[in-house]
Amino acid sequence: MKARLIISIIFIIVSNFNSQDSTFVKKIRVKKSNFEFNLNQNTASLFTPSFSAIHPGFNMVLSTQWNKNKKLQLRQDFIAGFFYHKSFQSVIQLYSEFNFKIKILDRFFISPLVIGGGYFMSFLNMQSFYWDGSQYLSRLITLKNNWVISLGSNLEFPTRFKLLNRPLNITAKYRLQVQGEIIRYNVPIIAYSPIMLGISLPISN
């Protein structure tokens, strides 16, 4: 009798969970997600990208759509990346951006305004010293935790190619990113103008 009662309770719980789970899955499907991989050139300047000095980087993006409109998509991007600035800093990037992705003439997509912000973990690629009470000593590693504000725009071009049986798009991006304090008094903030070129594909078929 007790065994039947336990089995009945388990059956009711599992049935209820499956019902709720299917509803949850339906809600999740509304949010269409893409994966991106981008290669970056992180120019240390305000507004103007340049290749006179190479500051290479890359990032991976999880892009989620929050509405159902295919031609005017409200999207949020979650970005994790890294870039290297010789003799200055190496940076791990974790930030998020919002944008409206607009389909133009059924040929390409544009996001005229992308805005966001987040966290930069910066390792200085230069000598750094601290005062121990009697003399200055060199630090082995200098870590700076910084905020970042990100503004820019995106272009995305569909192709006829497929990767992992998913349609492949080409992405091109421009950003103006302002990073918080690096060296107190000397470098209170620093601006980068990264340009990015990459690929995008849907996570689900």
Cα–Cα distance for residue pair 93/148, rounded to 1 Å:
9
Q: Are the CB atoms for 47 and 193 separated by under 8 Å? A: yes
| pLDDT beneath 70, residues of the chain | 1-31, 129-130, 135, 183-187
Q: Does domain 32-202 have CATH number 3.30.70.20?
A: no
For residue 14, count CB atoms less than 10 angstroms from its CB and return exposed for 0-12, middle for 13-18, buried for 19 or more.
Answer: exposed
DSSP 148-200: EEEEEEEEEEEEEEEETTEEEEEEEEEEEEEE--SBTTTBS-EEEEEEEEEEE
pLDDT at position 87, please?
Answer: 87
pLDDT at position 108, please?
Answer: 96
Q: What is the pLDDT of residues 149-177, one digit of tens each?
A: 999 999 999 999 999 999 999 999 999 99
**Count helices and strands in the chain by DSSP H and E runs:** 1, 10
What is the Cα Rg of the chain in Å? 23
- The pTM of this model reads 0.80
pLDDT at position 6, please?
Answer: 44
**Helix (H/G/I), strand (E/B), else coil: 136:** strand
**Domain edges within the chain:** 1-30, 32-202
pLDDT at position 5, please?
Answer: 47
Which amino acid type is present at position 131? W
pLDDT at position 15, please?
Answer: 54
pLDDT at position 188, please?
Answer: 74
